């Protein structure tokens, strides 16, 4: 039986027709499952290159079908991660303010319309399955864990009117024990406070990384006023008291300096969330007697919290997937539907999430050769030996192997790798490559056989493949592993299996054989403006526009040539599908009018200028505006400038501006042989 799980919104990448669920449906993804096993799964952002996109799952669906060599006609069920009744109510609210949507009708008609419009496919009513938001979260963690019985905790900002669920699962039967509404949302409480600290949605992990620099006791009493612990594992959140933060300090402006006050608030916030969650778990573990726990939902991606739960000893085993957030709901919807339809299917632990775009060894050479103006490439005789030597010599490597990982974390197939013993790597990678805050920590990848040698691992389980737990580095190793040891002596570790990821395991093992430390610094292969790289071309672009020393794709090693902006003129240029060019006739002073040129985005994500008032449209010169306006994905920069009749000075101006726009992913550049 084939089941296609879907999470995300309704609008095409280039439009804002429906504008439905913009605050709820994000991190669009599709997962294709056959008899309980994933054939393919990918987030839409990897393919459209739009971070956290909530646009419709068009390209993710096409990818899954292509990988499986199937068509939509072959799919038995389409699983949607939302409660049907809730969707119908939401649709009616939208239809009141926008009568044009009235013809769509209810949720089933909506999805029939979407499939007809996007794929020319007639979706039958009996193929469409709606799964409650929190059930999809629960199913994601439960079915991946392989446990037959477990306590399930899902914590989100909001989904289908609920924010927190505690569920007792025994042999696939889901019995709800506690549900909390939006008014008691821990996710929204967290967002309230981090906004005060100058952060915004999708920045939660940044504040988690900031918290260890703070002193939780300083503002413990103030944060304790934001919630009340109630009997029987219950709690209440008092959002109206968030304004009491003004008694401590003023809201931090974006990009303003981070002070000790901000760090202390972050520490108290992290402690508050952990206190509430442990209060819930203590009660329901005692009530149910469960020895195993699984966690999902956006707040479940707090690896610091998960580490505290593991150390608490409440449970013998705790499982958290790397995609506990909403992209994972595509998996959860597919898994829940599959097991409801086929209850006889066995349960088994899922050990990896390498379900995305494959890198085939026979395509690497030709793809890299197309970038020959910018790259020197060579095929290595012994990949692990040569790459480990480069890392030992101090190089920072972009590493691309096999199928890309599903979810927000790079687990060894689309990673930036470095020597964990070099303290300066932390600052170098944050500043020159990731272009992000200097305090942000990096994760260690360790061969699973040696994890207890370097980390304080509670209990019997030592399998942590999804980078979901922060554990303590053993004191005797902290000074020897400065690049991956956080300020509080902890690290968000990943164990690497020789069976699940042999290439990555071999590299770490080779590094360990030479240094005595089978650990590598691992962070996602991207910069601050884009999702994790997916294709070889994505990797090349990120490599060329960052401070990475080398790029490794399969058995090939690439080094940058000393390229200049003029070398970009022969690249084919196009605009991202979500980009909009603006030419505005406006006053530029009290007495003078003129034209301004800019680029904006049309989607509800981290770079939507309407969604985030702190963002500003990207200003363009008139000549760059004209080139982008003419860009069609068929002609090179030089061809367009010639057709536009640009002078040498105008051409020089365009070529001076292109590297910055390229680095910010505001345009797409490809070699001529990669023309689209």
Q: Residue 305: name the closest of 526, 471, 115 by CA.
A: 471
Q: Residue 325: name the closest of 5, 63, 7 by CA.
A: 7
Of 157-161, 380-384, 465-469, 491-495, which range is least confident? 157-161
pLDDT tens by residue, 537-567? 999 999 999 999 999 999 999 999 999 989 9
Average pLDDT, integer, range 629-650:
97
Q: Tell me the sheet residues that pair with 228.
A: 236
Per-residue confidence at 16, pLDDT binned at 50, 70, 90?
confident
pLDDT tens by residue, 493-541? 999 999 999 999 999 999 999 999 999 999 999 998 899 999 999 999 9
81, 444 Cβ separation under 8 angstroms: no
pLDDT tens by residue, 287-307? 999 999 999 999 999 999 999
Average pLDDT, integer, range 151-161:
92
pLDDT tens by residue, 27-72? 999 999 999 999 999 999 999 999 999 999 999 999 999 999 999 9
Q: Is the pLDDT of residue 615 over 60?
A: no
Tokens of 507: 């590299």
What is the pLDDT at residue 611? 42
pLDDT tens by residue, 167-182? 999 999 999 999 999 9
Per-residue confidence at 674, pLDDT binned at 50, 70, 90?
low
- Burial class for 548, CB neighbours closer than 10 Å (0-12, 13-18, 19+): buried
Of 21-25, 94-98, 596-600, which range is least confident? 21-25
Whole-number Å distance between alpha carbons of 604 and 56: 12
Q: What is the dihedral of CA 62, 63, 66, 70, to 10 degrees?
A: -60
Q: What percent of the chain has pLDDT over 90?
A: 84
Tokens of 18: 């429906």
52, 526 Cβ separation under 8 angstroms: no
Per-residue confidence at 15, pLDDT binned at 50, 70, 90?
confident
What is the pLDDT at residue 183? 94
Placement of tokens 């902290």 in the chain:
478
Whole-number Å distance between alpha carbons of 493 and 452: 12
Q: Tell me the sheet residues that pair with 165.
A: 154, 179
Q: Is the pLDDT of residue 23 over 60?
A: no
Q: How far is CA 583 from CA 488, 586, 596, 610, 622, in A?
A: 50, 10, 6, 17, 9
Domain 144-323 has CATH 3.30.420.40: yes
Tokens of 132: 């409650």
Average pLDDT, integer, range 618-624:
95
Q: Is the pLDDT of residue 359 over 90?
A: yes
Half-sphere exposure of 97 (CA within 13 A, CB side): 7
Q: What is the mean pLDDT of the chain?
A: 93
What is the pLDDT at residue 435? 74
Q: Which residues of 132-164 are buried (b: 16+ CB within 10 A; e: fewer)?
A: bbbbbbbbbbbbbbbbebbbbbbbbbbbbebbb
Placement of tokens 């020319």 in the chain:
120
Placement of tokens 């998960």 in the chain:
306
pLDDT tens by residue, 228-283? 999 999 999 999 999 999 999 999 998 899 999 999 999 999 999 999 999 999 99
Q: Residue 527: name the closest of 511, 513, 512, 539 by CA.
A: 539
Structural fold of domain 2-81+84-130: Nucleotidyltransferase; domain 5 (3.30.420)
pLDDT tens by residue, 108-134? 999 999 999 999 999 998 999 999 999
- Output the CA torsion sign for 27, 31, 37, 39: negative
Q: Which residues of 40-75 are buried (b: 16+ CB within 10 A; e: fewer)?
A: bbbbbbbbbbbbbbbbbbbbbbebbbebbebebeeb
Structural fold of domain 361-560: DHBP synthase (3.90.870)
* Alpha helix stretches (DSSP H) within 313-447: 328-341, 361-369, 383-392, 424-428
Q: What is the dihedral of CA 272, 273, 275, 279, to 10 degrees?
A: 140
Q: How far is CA 135 from CA 65, 353, 466, 615, in A?
A: 25, 20, 21, 35
Per-residue confidence at 22, pLDDT binned at 50, 70, 90?
low
Q: Is the pLDDT of residue 610 over 50?
A: no
What is the pLDDT at residue 614? 42
């Amino acid at each position: 039986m084939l089941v296609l799980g879907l999470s995300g919104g309704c609008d095409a990448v280039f439009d804002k027709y429906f504008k439905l669920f913009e605050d709820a449906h994000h991190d669009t993804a599709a997962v294709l499952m056959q008899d309980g096993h994933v054939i393919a799964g990918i987030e839409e952002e990897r393919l459209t290159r739009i971070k956290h996109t909530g646009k419709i799952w068009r390209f993710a669906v096409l990818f899954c079908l292509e990988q499986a060599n199937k068509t939509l006609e072959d799919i038995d069920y389409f699983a949607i991660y939302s409660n049907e009744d809730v969707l119908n109510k939401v649709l009616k609210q939208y239809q009141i303010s926008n009568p044009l949507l009235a013809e769509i009708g209810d949720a089933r008609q909506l999805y029939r319309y979407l499939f007809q419009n996007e794929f020319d496919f007639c979706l039958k009513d009996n193929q469409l399955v709606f799964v409650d938001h929190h059930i999809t979260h629960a199913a994601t963690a439960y079915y991946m864990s392989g446990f037959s019985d477990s306590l399930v905790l899902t914590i989100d900002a909001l989904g289908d009117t609920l924010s927190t669920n505690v569920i007792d699962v025994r042999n696939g039967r889901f019995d709800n024990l506690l549900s909390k509404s939006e008014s008691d949302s821990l996710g929204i409480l967290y967002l309230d406070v981090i906004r005060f600290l100058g952060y915004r949605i999708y920045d939660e992990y940044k504040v988690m990384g900031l918290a260890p620099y703070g002193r939780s006791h300083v503002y413990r009493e103030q944060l304790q006023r934001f919630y009340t612990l109630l009997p029987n594992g219950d709690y209440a959140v008092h959002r109206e008291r968030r304004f009491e933060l003004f008694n401590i300090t003023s809201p931090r402006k974006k990009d303003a300096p981070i002070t000790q006050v901000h760090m202390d608030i972050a520490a108290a916030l992290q402690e508050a969330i952990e206190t509430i969650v442990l209060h819930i778990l203590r009660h329901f573990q005692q009530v149910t007697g469960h020895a195993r726990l699984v966690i999902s939902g956006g707040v479940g991606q707090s690896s610091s919290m998960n580490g505290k739960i593991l150390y608490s000893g409440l449970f013998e085993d705790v499982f958290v997937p790397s995609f506990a957030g909403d992209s994972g709901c595509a998996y959860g919807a597919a898994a829940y539907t599959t097991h409801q339809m086929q209850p006889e299917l066995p349960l088994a632990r899922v050990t990896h999430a390498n379900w995305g775009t494959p890198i085939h060894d026979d395509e690497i050479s030709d793809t890299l050769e197309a970038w020959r103006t910018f790259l020197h490439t060579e095929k290595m005789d012994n990949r692990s030996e040569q790459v480990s030597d480069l890392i030992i010599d101090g190089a920072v490597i972009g590493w691309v192997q096999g199928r890309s990982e599903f979810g927000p974390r790079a687990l060894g197939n689309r990673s930036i790798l470095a020597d964990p013993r070099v303290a300066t790597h932390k600052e170098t990678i944050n500043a020159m490559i990731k272009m992000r805050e200097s305090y942000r920590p990096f994760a260690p990848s360790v061969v699973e056989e040696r994890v207890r040698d370097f980390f304080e691992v509670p209990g019997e389980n030592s399998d942590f493949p999804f980078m979901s737990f922060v554990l303590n580095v053993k004191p005797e190793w902290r000074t020897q592993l400065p690049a991956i040891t956080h300020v509080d002596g902890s690290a968000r570790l990943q164990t690497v299996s020789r069976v699940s990821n042999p290439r990555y395991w071999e590299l770490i093992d080779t590094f360990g054989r030479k240094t005595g430390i089978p650990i590598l610094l691992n962070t996602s292969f991207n910069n601050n403006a884009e999702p994790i790289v997916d294709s070889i071309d994505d990797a090349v672009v990120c490599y060329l526009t960052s401070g990475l020393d080398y790029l490794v794709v399969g058995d090939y090693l690439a080094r940058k040539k000393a390229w200049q902006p003029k070398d970009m003129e022969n690249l084919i240029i196009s605009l991202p599908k979500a980009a909009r060019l603006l030419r505005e006739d406006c006053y530029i002073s009290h007495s003078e009018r003129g034209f301004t040129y800019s680029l904006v985005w049309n989607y509800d994500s981290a770079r939507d200028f309407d969604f985030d008032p702190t963002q500003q449209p990207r200003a363009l010169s008139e000549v760059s505006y004209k080139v982008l306006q003419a860009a069609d994905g068929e002609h090179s920069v030089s061809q367009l400038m010639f057709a536009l009749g640009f002078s040498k000075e105008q051409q020089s101006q365009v070529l001076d501006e292109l590297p910055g726009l390229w680095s910010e992913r505001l345009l797409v550049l490809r070699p001529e042989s990669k023309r689209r």
